[in-house]
Structures are given as structure tokens and as C-alpha cells.
Amino acid sequence: MLTLVGNDQPGIVAKITNGLLNANCNLGEASMMRLGGNFTVMLMINSEHPSEDIRKAMQSTCDDMSLTLHIDQIRGRLHQHHIPDVRVVVSGSDRAGIVAQVSQLLFDAGMDILDLNSDVAGTNEAPIYIMQIEGLATQGIDSIEKAIDSLPKNIDVSVHPIETFVG
Amino acid sequence: MAKKTILTYPNKDLKLTSAEVKSFDNDLLAFIQDLEDTMADGPGAVGIAAPQVGHAIRAVIVDVSNRKKIKHHGHLVLINPQITQWDGLATGREGCLSVPDYTGNVVRAKNITLEALDQFGEKHQYEMEGYEARVAQHEIDHLDGLLFLDRLVSRHHDLFERKVYKK
């Protein structure tokens, strides 16, 4: 798993992926996004070369763009997708502890989180927090709906079933 | 019983525009039965379109009757289907027998009015909503060479530009 972070600037994806191609790496599943002015990459790569060789091959590209690169050996494989069956949307005034509070409740209610995205929006004076979580309701959606009832009223939470069909 | 092979992306035949059915004969009935058997063999499929088995004619099967608590018309064979009215938009998650191991978000009309012939050439009109309407739109897309991959919207954001749904 290649992890990369640095100030957002044009060309990061093109330069990094071309560097990896030249280092004989195959790319797998990836998550790349801008977070608070940084560009972040989590990327599965497959290579016959040791990770230290890949890191060396990428060093000058990363130095040129002031990017921090990290590589971990993982056992990841392709075709390991789970299909989420529930989406939870959380919003409210930004304050410390929302994620901890909500995620603990969801965990206790049997939700296995597959994907979580959150943003802080609003204004500097009145920031708001918006979070979208997708996952598996291992104890059913009712269990999650029941659990969120105990959240304070200043946090808005909605639970939506995701019905995926195959056709 | 004859299960047919399902074409998978990027097979270019999935991009063909299918031809109108003109003969309602025993060959058509036999083909529809094969299509039915192929769908039943799939992993929980609720619909299938003729071009998915390499026969580019305007015929689809929609059957969402295994879903509880939704309005539906049971098992439907739709020949030369035409959507005559659309209303509302909703994002939902879709998968496809022709795109294994991938699901994605797609915007579809919530309610549709659909005109089609059955396998005996008799004309029907259906008012569909929600899940069934979504499946029908997905299958009819196949007849015009469109996959849900052609209509993907962001996995991470529910908000999307408002667009009028057109075939």
C-alpha cells in the first residue's frame, strides 16, 4: 500500500503514476482526494521489486513536489468488494467528539464501516460538520436506527438503506 | 432449460443498439425462456436484457417480486419497451451481470410510465415506481447499448447537478 501526502498542486497523479509505471509497478484500487489543501493518495500497487527499490525510484519525483511517500507490505487482493447496505448521514455544528460518539454507537449497533467521508463547511465563525458513512448493517438497519435515537438533538443523523440490484 | 453465456464488459456487442422485435413466434418464446434461465442462474439478478446474452433484440425481463414491501408488477417480459413519461430523480446503487464485482451510484427517474408488448405480442402499459422503475430503466438502457458505467455519479456525494433524465 502506497501512501502519499503533500500540498495539493497540479500534476501529482500524472507524475506519481508515471513514476510507478517506470518502476514496473501495477496499480490496483486507489483512493485519492484533496483534504484541507493537501492531496492524499492511498494506492494498491503490485510489484516484483522490494518496496525499498520502489521508494528509491520514486524519491526524486516526490522530492520535486515535496510529497511524503510511505509504502507498507500488505496482503491485499483484488475482487474483495463488499456491497454496502446502509448509508448514515450526519451533520451538525462542528465540535470535538462527533465522529467518536457516532462511530461508537454505530459499531455497537453492528455497523461495519466500509467508507467514510467527512467535510467541515460553513464559516470560520460557525463551522458545520457533514459526514457520510456507508457500511454493512450486520444486525439490521433497525438496530442502527434505534441506536442513533440516543444521540443529542443538535446532531442530525439520517439512516438510509442502500438497495443494490443486479440486472 | 438452456442457460446462455453472459457477455461481460468490455465486450463491444454490449454497445450495440438492439433491433425491434417483429415476429412473435416460437423462436421468440424459446429465446425468452433461455433468457429467463440465464437470469435465474445469476447471483440474485432482478433483470436481464437480450443483448447481455449476445442477441441484440429489444427484449428484457424484469422481476423484482422477491423484494418485500415494494410496489411491483411481478414477473415481466417487456418486448419493444418504451418509456413514455418520467418523473422525479433518485440516486441508487446498481450492479450488472455484465460488469462483475462492481457496483456504483446512478441517477434514474423515480417514476416512469412504460409501454411494452409481452412475448405474445400483446400491448401493456405499466406505471412503475422506485426499485422496479430503476431496474426497468437499467434493462432498457442495455437495448440502446448503454451500461450503468455510462451513467455513474460520484460515490462520495449525494448532491448532484439536476439534469432531466433522457433515454
* Range of the structural domain that residue A27 is part of: 2-71
Banded model confidence at residue A75, pLDDT cuts 50, 70, 90: confident
In whole angstroms, give the CA distance from residue B33 to residue B77: 10
* Domains present along chain B, CATH in parentheses: 12-153 (3.90.45.10)
Three-point CA angle B106, B111, B19, nearest 5°: 70
Domain shared by A26 and A65, yes or no: yes
What residues form DSSP beta bridges with B45?
none
Q: How many CB pairs under 8 A join A and B?
A: 58
Q: Residue A118 belongs to a domain with what CATH number?
A: 3.30.70.260
Q: pTM for the full model?
A: 0.88
In a domain, A166, yes or no: no
Out of A71, A106, A131, pick the residue that ends a domain. Answer: A71
Residues of chain A neighbouring B95 (CB-CB closer than 8 A): 83, 164-167
The mean pLDDT of chain A is 94
In a domain, A125, yes or no: yes
Domain shared by A6 and A64, yes or no: yes
In a domain, A48, yes or no: yes
CB contact under 8 A, A81 and B103: yes
Task: Find the CB nearest A162 among B47, B93, B139.
Answer: B93
The tens digit of pLDDT for each residue in B130-160 reads 999 999 999 999 999 999 999 999 876 654 4
Out of A12, A37, A71, pick the residue that ends a domain. Answer: A71
Task: Find the CB nearest B135 among A83, A115, A165.
Answer: A165
The tens digit of pLDDT for each residue in A85-110 reads 999 999 999 888 999 999 999 999 99
In a domain, A76, yes or no: no
Count of the separate structural domains present in chain A: 2
In a domain, A66, yes or no: yes
